[in-house]
Chains A and B, each alone.
Chain A
């Protein structure tokens, strides 16, 4: 099973998906419709581009930069959070224990992905 499909099966996860760094392909599973998944992919791709540029600037003058390369990011709202590692995104409820569980799984499964394909 793909990483995003496994994430989508975790109770409390609203939906998960994967997007292409270039072009507009995407896959998803969960409580999103096709248009929402397309929008989520566009948003996640844009923020990932931004974080990659920012970490390169952050690390341009530092030999031991702790954030190079950027593996992902997360953003939190009052009810939901979005986690992104490599090209996989996950929308989840803010429930106790869930964020750490999802991030652990994403980092374990996607730790070796360091190229923007």
Chain B
């Protein structure tokens, strides 16, 4: 089973996708009952890349300033909407329904 198919097996998954270092969408799965489009996933991929970059800057600054490690390197960013959340790490992301959302399972699947 491909890594995207594994992500689609997460409970409440509406879409799973892969993207390049700069955030361009390279591969995707969208469930039949979802309104998500490839354009929306491409934007979401750019959201991940942008926010992981910002979070990395923050983790770096936080560790240098406070001496408290544990945030760097950043291993994922999640955007939480009203009904849906998008969990991303590395070059992959998954969109999950909030009322069924197992964030830890999503991160574990993205790590594998």
Contacts and interface: CB of A to CB of B under 8 A. Distances in A.
Q: Which of B52, B59, B66, B103 has the most CB of A within 10 A?
A: B103
Contacts of A36: 66, 68
Contacts, number: 118
Contact of B80 (A47, A50, A71): A71
Contacts of B21: none
A61 to B, nearest CB: 8
B35 A64 contact: yes
A75 B76 contact: yes
Given A54-B47, A73-B77, A76-B76, A67 B84 contact: yes
B4 interface: no
B23 to A, nearest CB: 12
A20 interface: no
Interface residues of B, number: 45
A2 interface: no
B81 A71 contact: yes
A55 B104 contact: no
Interface in A47-87: 47, 50-51, 54-55, 57-58, 61-62, 64-80, 82, 85
A117 interface: no
Interface string A15-28: 00000000000000
A67 B36 CA distance: 11
A78 B75 contact: yes
Interface of A: 36, 39, 43, 46-47, 50-51, 54-55, 57-58, 61-62, 64-80, 82, 85, 96-97, 99-100, 103, 107, 114
Q: Which 5 A-B pairs have the closest CB atoms?
A: A79-B70, A67-B81, A77-B71, A66-B84, A72-B80
